[in-house]
C-alpha cells in the first residue's frame, strides 16, 4: 500500500497538487526578493520567487498556525501547573531527505520566511553535518564509506544538543562542519541562544532506533521535533541531480587546492563522472534506500519534486 497515492483510502496524509497547495497561501505576504532567493538556493537548485509563492508561502502559513497552537498549549500548561517560572521551549522543525534533493535550500528559505513574520521571531538553523564523527575517527572505525549513515554521527552529542535546546537553555553550542575539508571543524561552534524557532536539517533526522526489550527510554532525534518536513523525489531524479552537482563542483569548489575533493578536478570529464556514479551507487543510494527513504512516512509534511527540481505534490499528515 502506497500511502502517498491520493486515492489511497487508508493514507494518513492529505495529498495536494502544487496548484491546489498554492491557494492555501491566503494573504501571507511575500517578503523575499529574487536576489535573496538566489542567495539562499544551493548550487543547481532552480527555486525562484514563483516557487516561493507556489509552495513556501503556504508552508509558512501552516507553520505559523502550528507555532501559535504550541504557544497557546504552553500557556495552558502554565495554568495547569499553576506556575509562572516555566521556560518557553523553542519550536523545532526537522527537515529531512536525500543528498542533492534540496534540503538546504528549503531550510534556508523557511528560515527567512519565518523570521519575517509580523512578530519577528528569532529563527536559527542548524545542520547535522557538524555532529558527524571526525574523519580521523571514521577512518579508524573503517566508516569513511559510511559517512552520512546513522552510525557516522555522534548521536550522544546530537541528543544532548537538542535536549538543551528544548529545555530552553541559553547559549547552546552547535559544532561546525567544513564542506571544503569534508570534516568537522575542531573546537569551532555556533552558539544557539533560545530561539523562538529552530530548524534542524539533515538526511537522517527522522531516523529511529531498535526498541528496547526492557521498556527503557531510547530517545531519537525526532523526539525533540514539533514538526517535520521531508523533501522527496524519485531515485533516478536524485541521482541525476547528484551527478550534475558533482560535475559542476568539479569546475568550481573542487579546484581549490584546500578542497578534500581537489583530486577530482584534475580528472577527465569521463573519469570524474564515473567517480560520481560510483559514489552515488555505493554510498548515497544505499543510504537513501536503507536509512532515509524508510523515514519518509514519519514526516508531517512531504514535498515531492519533479524532474525540474520543483515541487509537484504536497502531502500533509491528517490531524
For residues 258 and 253, what is the distance between their CA atoms, to the nearest angstrom? 9
**Crossing angle for the helix pair 57-81 and 103-115, to the nearest 10 degrees:** 60
pLDDT tens digits for range 59-83: 999 999 999 999 999 989 888 988 8
Q: What is the b/e burial string over 1-32, where b = at least 16 CB atoms within 10 angstroms of the residue's CB?
A: eeebeeeeeebebebbebeebbeebeebeeeb
- Give every residue of the chain whose pLDDT is below 70, as ranges: 1-3, 6-8
**Cell numbers of 161, please?**
544538543
pLDDT of residue 14: 95
Instruction: Tell me how far apart the alpha carbons of residues 175 and 171 are, in angstroms, rounded to a whole number.
Output: 13
CA 227, CA 75: separation in Å to the nearest integer?
A: 19
Q: What pLDDT does residue 198 have?
A: 98
pTM of the model: 0.95
Angle between helices 269-279 and 235-250 (to 10 degrees): 140
Task: Return the pLDDT at 88.
Answer: 81
List the domains of the chain with CATH numbers: 87-314 (3.40.50.300)
Residues contacting residue 156 through CB under 8 Å, at least 6 positions apart: none
Q: Give the Cα separation of 57 and 95 in Å (integer).
A: 17
Percent of residues, the chain, with pLDDT higher than 90: 87
Task: Please name the residues in contact with 286: beta carbons below 8 A apart, sequence gap of 6 or more.
Answer: none
The 3-class secondary structure across the chain, one letter per residue, is CCCCCCCCCCCCEEEEEHHHHHHHHCCCCCCCCHHHHHHHCCCCCCCCHHHHHHHHHHHHHHHHHHHHHHHHHHHHHHHHHCCCCCCCCCEEEEEEECCCCCHHHHHHHHHHHHHCCCCCCCEEEEEHHHHECCHHHHHHCCCHHHCCCHHHECHHHHHHHHHHHHCCCCCEEEEEEECCCCEEEEEEEEEECCCCEEEEECCCCCCCCCCCCCCCCCCCHHHHCCEEEEEECCHHHHHHHHHHHHHHHHCCHHHCCCCCCHHHHCCCHHHHHHHHHHHHHHHHHHHHHHHHHHHHHHCCEEEEECCCCCEEEEEEECC
pLDDT of residue 134: 97
Amino acid at each position: 500500500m502506497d500511502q502517498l497515492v491520493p486515492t489511497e483510502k487508508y493514507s494518513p496524509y492529505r495529498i495536494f497538487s502544487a496548484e491546489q497547495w498554492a491557494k492555501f497561501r491566503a494573504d501571507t505576504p511575500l517578503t523575499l526578493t529574487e536576489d535573496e532567493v538566489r542567495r539562499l538556493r544551493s548550487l543547481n537548485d532552480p527555486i525562484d520567487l514563483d516557487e516561493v509563492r507556489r509552495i513556501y508561502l503556504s508552508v509558512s502559513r501552516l507553520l505559523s498556525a502550528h507555532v501559535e497552537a504550541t504557544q497557546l498549549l504552553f500557556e495552558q500548561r502554565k495554568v495547569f501547573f499553576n506556575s509562572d517560572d516555566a521556560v518557553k521551549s523553542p519550536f523545532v522543525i526537522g527537515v529531512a531527505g536525500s543528498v542533492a534533493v534540496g534540503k538546504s535550500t528549503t531550510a534556508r528559505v523557511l528560515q527567512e520566511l519565518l523570521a519575517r513574520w509580523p512578530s519577528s521571531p528569532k529563527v536559527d538553523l542548524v545542520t547535522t553535518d557538524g555532529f558527524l564523527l571526525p574523519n580521523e575517527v571514521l577512518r579508524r572505525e573503517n566508516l569513511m564509506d559510511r559517512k552520512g549513515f546513522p552510525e557516522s554521527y555522534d548521536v550522544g552529542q546530537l541528543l544532548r544538543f537538542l535536549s538543551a535546546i528544548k529545555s530552553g537553555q541559553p547559549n547552546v553550542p552547535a559544532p561546525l562542519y567544513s564542506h571544503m575539508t569534508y570534516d568537522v571543524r575542531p573546537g569551532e561552534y555556533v552558539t544557539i541562544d533560545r530561539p523562538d524557532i529552530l530548524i534542524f536539517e539533515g538526511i537522517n533526522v527522522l531516523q529511529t532506533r531498535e526498541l528496547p526489550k526492557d521498556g527503557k527510554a531510547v530517545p531519537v532525534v525526532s523526539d525533540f521535533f514539533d514538526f517535520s518536513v521531508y523533501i522527496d523525489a524519485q531515485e533516478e531524479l536524485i541521482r541525476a541531480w547528484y551527478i550534475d552537482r558533482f560535475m559542476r563542483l568539479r569546475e568550481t569548489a573542487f579546484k581549490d587546492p584546500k578542497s578534500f575533493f581537489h583530486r577530482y578536478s584534475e580528472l577527465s570529464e569521463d573519469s570524474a563522472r564515473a567517480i560520481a556514479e560510483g559514489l552515488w551507487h555505493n554510498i548515497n543510494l544505499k543510504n537513501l534506500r536503507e536509512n532515509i527513504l524508510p523515514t519518509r512516512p514519519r514526516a508531517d509534511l512531504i514535498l515531492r519534486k519533479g524532474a525540474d527540481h520543483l515541487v509537484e505534490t504536497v502531502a500533509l499528515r491528517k490531524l
